[in-house]
């Protein structure tokens, strides 16, 4: 069923009794062309672009829980393409362009809202760094505008501008950035892929990866053996666990990142604002809740929940930036498991094992990359060559001396 | 999370800085200068610096008591529950493993 205004009217006349499930709940078949392990945003996007761009539809997406139970439903929903390095910026710009056309592409309302992002600068050096970053963005066609203090004050007058230690000196504004309804991204991609014949199989945990003659031939799952000549891992957060099934260690640590939402308030924060002197970012959801987060807790974790010192740290960052939110009640906090890579950048690559592909290491920036990641991963799986904007995301880049270290923090995952 | 420091008792984890997997104590060594740039040496240092087991479950890891006595600790912790199972001074752990190698 194609969603449209006409369909809403038609179904309304029938008392909304004619709506069908958005996607099937199929039994796994025994053979596929491609198995995607992980039914998160990236895995579902990969399935969709494999079908829509490359015509590969005999695909299974295996999800161990229910759709949207992982990081696609646990993030702070921000999309942007304000990176610096040439290995990153064109990739994230492709992703942002795919966001801009996403709803028409998959015929699903994902509430893509380009309300802009403002990265604040608190020193002259930081203003210079943002000027450089803005230039890199323009080189990739991503836009961007450097604002002085007056320009920032005009957009977000409620900030703590004259803080003695961290005064606001300006900011980098990207108009095309914004937020997206994250659950709808999972549902929309699943529905679109399903409409092309892709089997999205929930509650199906992969327990082993089968190899014959060096090649992968299939997976063992909690719902039986499933065969395919190409297996694509896409399980960020649990990458090390899955790759340990083929005895591979990764340049990745799993860490917990917490996020928070306040009680619903009237519209007050236009777009996304990030604090440049600490690690704090905030936006306001369409329901009115302030959605914000900060640093990872900083130790290896698979617990999907964090500890109180980080809650306090994030709240302190928020209050020092915009004291007015001290009056708002924090409603909920939650945690997600991040694949923290050694340089803060992801991997989209073939592995040493023929037929086995790997996508992971998204740190805490995976959501904005969802369409780009799926698009480039599908390209890699279909053609066995990396997409032109994802050539830097090699698994062996640390061995060869080509890290993509956006932050410049070195091989220390909890500093990225 | 509270870490049972062997000398100071229970201390809040926020007093500590986290480094990572305790296998970082076992840095590769190169005795022969001719081997410094060899593939085997580069592979060994690549694995030491960049690759991690990253288990879901029991994990031995290095914590530095920066806001306290500035000792390095090896903490054994379950990464799925954050339960701390054991804690020892890193110098004792390293000394034990180096001692084992020399015998």
> pLDDT digit string (tens) for A357-376?
999 999 999 999 999 999 99
Res. B97: pLDDT tops 70: no
Q: Select the residue of A249, A309, A399 nearest B53 (Cβ to Cβ).
A: A249
Q: Do residue A398 and residue B13 have CB atoms under 8 angstroms apart?
A: no
- Top pLDDT among B95 and A313 is at A313
Res. A90: pLDDT tops 80: yes
Which chain A residues have a beta carbon less than 8 Å from that of B22? none
- For residue A12, the model assigns a pLDDT of 96
Q: Select the residue of B1, B13, B79 nearest A302 (Cβ to Cβ).
A: B79
User: How many residues does the structure list for chain A?
Assistant: 416
Residue A266 structure tokens: 């009237």
Quote the minimal CA–CA distance from A254 to chain B in Å. 7
Q: Which of A122-136, A402-416, B88-102 has the lowest mean pLDDT?
A: B88-102
Average pLDDT over residues A267-290: 95
Classify each residue of A267-289 as buried b or exposed e, where b means 16 or more C-beta atoms within 10 Å of its C-beta: eebebbbbbbbbebbbbbbeeeb
**What pLDDT digit, counting tens, does each position of A319-355 carry?**
999 999 999 999 999 999 999 999 999 999 999 999 9
Does B39 contact A at CB distance below 8 Å? no
Res. B101: pLDDT tops 50: no
- For residue A150, the model assigns a pLDDT of 97
Res. B103: pLDDT tops 90: no
**What pLDDT digit, counting tens, does each position of A193-251 carry?**
999 999 999 999 999 999 999 999 999 999 999 999 999 999 999 999 999 999 999 99
Res. B67: pLDDT tops 80: yes
Which chain A residues have a beta carbon less than 8 Å from that of B56? 238, 240-241, 254, 302
Q: Select the residue of A300, A307, A342 nearest B59 (Cβ to Cβ).
A: A300
Residues A326 and A385: their CA atoms lie apart, in Å, by 50
Q: How confident is residue B56, by pLDDT bands cut at 50, 70 and 90?
A: very high
Q: Select the residue of A303, A398, A413 nearest B80 (Cβ to Cβ).
A: A303
Query: Domain residue spans in chain A?
Result: 26-81+84-107+182-251+343-415, 117-173+253-341
Q: Select the residue of A254, A298, A412 nearest B54 (Cβ to Cβ).
A: A254
Q: Calculate the average pLDDT of chain B.
A: 92
**What pLDDT digit, counting tens, does each position of A371-408 carry?**
999 999 999 999 999 999 999 999 999 999 999 999 98
Quote the minimal CA–CA distance from A413 to chain B in Å. 9
Residues A31 and A210: their CA atoms lie apart, in Å, by 13
Which residues form the domain of B82? 2-102
Q: Select the residue of B1, B21, B50 nearest A251 (Cβ to Cβ).
A: B50
**What pLDDT digit, counting tens, does each position of A171-201 carry?**
999 999 999 999 999 999 999 999 999 999 9
Report in angstroms the alpha-carbon separations of A342 from A5, A44, A253, B46, B94: 47, 26, 8, 11, 24
- Tokens 């880049």 belong to A397
- For residue B102, the model assigns a pLDDT of 43
Closest-CA residue of chain A to B54: A253
Q: How confident is residue B95, by pLDDT bands cut at 50, 70 and 90?
A: confident
- For residue A57, the model assigns a pLDDT of 97
**What pLDDT digit, counting tens, does each position of A55-82 carry?**
999 999 999 999 999 999 999 999 999 9
Tell me the CATH number at B18.
Answer: 3.30.2270.10
- For residue B94, the model assigns a pLDDT of 87
CATH code of the domain occupying A26-81+84-107+182-251+343-415 = 3.50.50.60
**What pLDDT digit, counting tens, does each position of A109-125 carry?**
999 999 999 999 999 99
- For residue A357, the model assigns a pLDDT of 98
Residue of A237, A300, A361, A410 for testing the chain B interface, max B β-carbons within 10 Å: A300
Q: Do residue A301 and residue B13 have CB atoms under 8 angstroms apart?
A: no
**What pLDDT digit, counting tens, does each position of A119-159 carry?**
999 999 999 999 999 999 999 999 999 999 999 999 999 99
Residue A43 structure tokens: 């895995």
Which chain B residues have a beta carbon less than 8 Å from that of A399? 42-43, 46, 50
- Count of domains observed in chain B: 1
Query: Could you tell me how many CB contacts below 8 A there are between chain A and chain B?
Result: 72
CATH code of the domain occupying A117-173+253-341 = 3.30.9.10
Q: Do residue A240 and residue B79 have CB atoms under 8 angstroms apart?
A: no
Chain B window 50-89: which residues touch A at a Cβ cutoff of 8 Å? Answer: 50-56, 59, 61, 77, 79-82
Q: Do residue A241 and residue B53 have CB atoms under 8 angstroms apart?
A: no
How many C-beta atoms lie closer than 10 Å to residue A185's C-beta? 30
**pTM of the model as a whole:** 0.95
């Amino acid at each position: 069923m194609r969603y449209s205004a006409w369909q809403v009217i038609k179904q309304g006349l029938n008392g909304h009794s004619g709506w069908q499930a958005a996607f099937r709940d199929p039994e796994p078949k025994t053979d596929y062309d491609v198995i995607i392990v992980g039914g998160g945003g990236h895995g579902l996007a990969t399935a969709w672009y494999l079908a829509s761009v490359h015509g590969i539809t005999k695909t299974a997406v295996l999800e161990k829980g229910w759709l949207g139970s992982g990081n696609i439903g646990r993030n702070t929903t921000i999309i942007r393409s304000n990176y610096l390095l040439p290995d990153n910026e064109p990739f994230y710009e492709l992703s942002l362009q795919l966001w801009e056309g996403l709803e028409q592409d998959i015929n699903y309302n994902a509430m893509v809202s380009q309300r802009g992002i403002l990265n604040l600068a608190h020193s002259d050096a930081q203003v210079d760094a943002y000027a450089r970053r803005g230039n890199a963005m323009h080189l990739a066609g991503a836009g961007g505008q450097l604002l002085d203090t007056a320009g920032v004050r005009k957009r977000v007058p409620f900030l703590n501008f004259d803080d003695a230690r961290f005064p606001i000196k300006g900011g980098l504004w990207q108009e095309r950035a914004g937020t997206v309804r994250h659950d709808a991204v999972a549902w929309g991609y699943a529905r679109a892929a399903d409409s092309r014949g892709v089997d999205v199989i929930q509650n199906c945990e992969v327990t082993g990866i089968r190899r014959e003659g060096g090649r992968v031939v299939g997976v063992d799952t909690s719902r039986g053996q499933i065969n395919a000549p190409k297996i694509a891992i896409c399980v960020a957060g649990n990458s090390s666990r899955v790759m340990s099934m083929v005895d591979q260690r990764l340049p990745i640590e799993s860490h917990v990142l917490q996020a928070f939402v306040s009680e619903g308030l009237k519209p007050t924060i236009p777009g996304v604002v990030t604090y440049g002197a600490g690690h704090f970012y905030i936006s306001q959801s369409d329901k009115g809740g302030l959605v914000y987060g900060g640093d990872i807790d900083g130790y290896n974790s698979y617990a999907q929940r964090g500890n109180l010192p980080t809650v306090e740290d994030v709240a302190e960052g928020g209050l020092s930036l915009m004291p007015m939110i001290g009056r708002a009640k924090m409603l909920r906090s939650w945690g997600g498991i991040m694949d923290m890579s050694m340089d803060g950048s992801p991997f989209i690559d073939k592995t040493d094992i023929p037929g086995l592909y790997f996508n992971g290491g998204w740190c805490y920036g995976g959501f904005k990359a969802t369409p780009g990641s799926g698009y480039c991963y599908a390209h890699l799986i279909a053609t066995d060559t990396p997409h032109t904007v994802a050539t830097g995301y090699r698994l062996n880049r640390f061995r060869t001396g080509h890290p993509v270290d956006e932050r410049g923090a070195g091989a220390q995952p909890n500093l990225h | 999370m509270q870490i049972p420091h062997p000398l100071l008792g229970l201390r809040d984890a926020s007093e500590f800085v986290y480094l990572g997997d305790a296998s970082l104590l076992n840095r590769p060594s190169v005795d022969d200068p001719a081997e410094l740039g060899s593939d085997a040496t580069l592979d060994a240092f690549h694995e030491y610096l960049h690759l991690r087991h990253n288990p879901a479950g029991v994990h031995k890891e290095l914590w530095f008591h920066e806001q306290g006595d500035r000792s390095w600790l090896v903490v054994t912790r379950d990464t799925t529950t954050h339960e701390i199972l054991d804690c020892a001074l890193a110098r004792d752990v390293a000394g034990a493993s180096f001692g084992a190698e020399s015998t």
